[in-house]
Amino acid sequence: MFTVIENISARLKTIENQLNQNHHAQTLCWNQLEKFECPSAQQELSDLMDVELVLKAELEATKNSYKQVQNYARYYSNLKPEFDAIVRDAGFQLGHFPYTVVREGATEEEISEAVANLENLAWARARSEDVLITQCSDETIRRYLRRVVNAAGKSNLRDFINQVITRTDQTRATFRWTRAALNFFLEMLMVCDRASKEIYDLHNKLNSVNVRDLPTKHQIQTYIRRKSVPDRTHPLFLDTLVSLGSDGLTAAMIFQSTIFLGLRPIEWQTAFFDENEPNTLVIKNAKNSNGRACGKYRWLHLDNFDDEEYQLIRDTIDAIRSELEGTTFVAFMGRIRCAFRQAHQKMSPKAKKRRITLYTARHQFAANMKRYWGRNGRDVLGALMGHSNDNTAGCHYAHTNQAMKGGRYGPQADGTNVPVPDQSNVAQVRVTNRHLAAIELGANTQSSQSSASSTSESTACYSSSMSM
């Protein structure tokens, strides 16, 4: 695989050199035209400009090839045994799948053939609908592969895909998650083997399923984790965590800081305060891939925080950094989750469900901010939570009626302990049509004197949007 990357890298440099030579030649032609008005120079310049367009297109295509080969090397070479087994058991007829690239002891001829396959399968030119490998985190890839490997092991990949397509008892969320895992796997195959019509057909068939035909949720559904913390439970839960020792104290600090700021658990790993603006917290968005966030980073301005709460957030970040000096973030978060389980067991030994988790604090933050910012602040809420649109928090997180009453543990009506997002992040939050319709409908309900039936319908829709 590294031979492939080296070949495409060399090809990139060659094209860049050709472009530089072309630009130099164009400069000479321009000089001749300005000084001597040479007709032949005019024709030569026109030819050079045509060549430049071809070289630029070739450069862009080669860059895409280089990026895709790097992704392929990153994903496939680490997952070769599982990948090969699934492909073999499914019996796909693969025309040019380059096994020889990653096989140890491959001959020069085999490597050359694999290089030709990868380069000549027209990475960015031969197909109008070019297939690209989805950008995912390593953890997401592992989860995708576990899903596909486990399911394909029970039958085979082809049968599993057909089962997913035809099942009607799965929820929309389950189908979307399974489809994402299968899409990643099939995209890997398609990028490496454009000759397999069956894989294209399965991919198209999988993505043609109308999700709206599936139920939004099962008739009986119980959430294992809470989406809010009752006011009377909150101080008791914090005290219980603190009583568990050092891990419990750190867990309590992260929990309360998350209620104030709404960070995802993994985002605490890289959060830091801006050196030039000490009241600004910089957060690397955990779901920035595929346009799912309001930018690579988001900035929260904490000028409205009391000194005690502001210091708590600083102490939380310092405590996490201190822990990570001697362990990994995964191991550290495992201890934090263990502290949450112990606190839950200590508070209610018989309760097996509706646990308070670290993500509960993010839900609680969403509810608190919904109450504070109101219906017209949905884009602000999206920026605070690192979402790419203003509808995610409204549909999938705790609602306004679950917000805290304020005081020491939550935001206050005057804006105390309320983080303010950076306008650059707010500008990247997409305002959905649903939100615009809700605003328009609300305005019409207040200003127009319609019939009783239309008024009732508008009020119901307006109330639904408010609860989100």
What is the CATH classification number for the domain harbouring 316? 1.10.443
* C-alpha to C-alpha distance for 23 and 18, rounded to whole angstroms: 9
SS3 233: helix
Is the pLDDT score of 332 beyond 90? yes
Mean pLDDT of the chain: 75
Residue 408 lies in a domain: yes
Query: Does one domain contain both 35 and 166?
Result: no
The per-residue pLDDT for 295 is 84
Tokens of residue 277, six digits: 């603006």
Query: Does one domain contain both 365 and 444?
Result: no
Q: Which of 6-10, 405-409, 422-426 has the lowest mean pLDDT?
A: 405-409
Is the pLDDT score of 135 beyond 50? yes
* C-alpha to C-alpha distance for 31 and 28, rounded to whole angstroms: 5
The per-residue pLDDT for 128 is 33
Band of residue 249 on the pLDDT scale cut at 50, 70, 90: very high
The per-residue pLDDT for 352 is 55
Task: Tell which of 53, 77, 101 closes a domain.
Answer: 77
Alpha carbon separation from 24 to 14, 21, 27, 51, 223 (Å, rounded): 15, 5, 5, 13, 66
Q: Which of 268-272, 325-329, 436-440 has the lowest mean pLDDT?
A: 436-440
Band of residue 82 on the pLDDT scale cut at 50, 70, 90: low
SS3 272: strand
Is the pLDDT score of 29 beyond 50? yes
Query: Does one domain contain both 209 and 332?
Result: no
The per-residue pLDDT for 419 is 93
Residue 411 lies in a domain: yes
Check: pTM over 0.75? Answer yes or no: no
Query: Does one domain contain both 445 and 389?
Result: no
Q: Of the spans 76-90, 92-106, 344-358, 410-424, which averages the highest pLDDT?
A: 410-424
Query: Does one domain contain both 313 and 379?
Result: yes
Residue 130 lies in a domain: yes
Is the pLDDT score of 310 beyond 90? yes
Helix (H) or strand (E) holding 420: strand 420-421
Share of the chain above pLDDT 90, in %: 23
Query: Does one domain contain both 293 and 387?
Result: yes
Better-predicted residue by pLDDT, 392 or 279: 279
Task: Tell which of 221, 246, 276 closes a domain.
Answer: 221
pLDDT digit string (tens) for 412-465? Answer: 888 888 999 999 989 888 887 554 444 444 444 444 444 444 434 433 433 443
Residue 346 lies in a domain: yes
Q: How is 178-216 classified by DSSP, letter by letter?
A: HHHHHHHHHHHHHHH-TT-HHHHHHHHHHHT--GGGS-S
Query: Does one domain contain both 103 and 181?
Result: yes
The per-residue pLDDT for 322 is 93
Q: Which of 39-43, 134-138, 236-240, 242-246 has the lowest mean pLDDT?
A: 134-138
Helix (H) or strand (E) holding 281: strand 280-284
Band of residue 81 on the pLDDT scale cut at 50, 70, 90: low
SS3 353: coil
Residue 141 lies in a domain: yes
The residue to which tokens 């321009």 are assigned: 30
Residue 315 lies in a domain: yes
* C-alpha to C-alpha distance for 400 and 466, rounded to whole angstroms: 8
Query: Does one domain contain both 187 and 246?
Result: no
Band of residue 340 on the pLDDT scale cut at 50, 70, 90: very high
Q: Which of 109-113, 312-316, 427-431 has the lowest mean pLDDT?
A: 109-113
pLDDT digit string (tens) for 356-372? Answer: 889 999 999 999 999 88
Better-predicted residue by pLDDT, 453 or 192: 192
Better-predicted residue by pLDDT, 323 or 143: 323
Better-predicted residue by pLDDT, 265 or 188: 265
Strand pairing partners for 430? 389
Mean pLDDT of 268-275: 92
Query: Does one domain contain both 437 and 422?
Result: no
Query: Does one domain contain both 168 and 237?
Result: no
Band of residue 345 on the pLDDT scale cut at 50, 70, 90: confident
CATH code where residue 63 lies: 1.20.58
| Residue 6 structural domain | 1-77
Domains in the chain: how many in total? 4
* C-alpha to C-alpha distance for 371 and 358, rounded to whole angstroms: 21
Residue 120 lies in a domain: no
Query: Does one domain contain both 335 and 209?
Result: no
* C-alpha to C-alpha distance for 76 and 50, rounded to whole angstroms: 38
The per-residue pLDDT for 68 is 61
Query: Does one domain contain both 34 and 93?
Result: no
Residue 442 lies in a domain: yes
Is the pLDDT score of 1 beyond 50? no
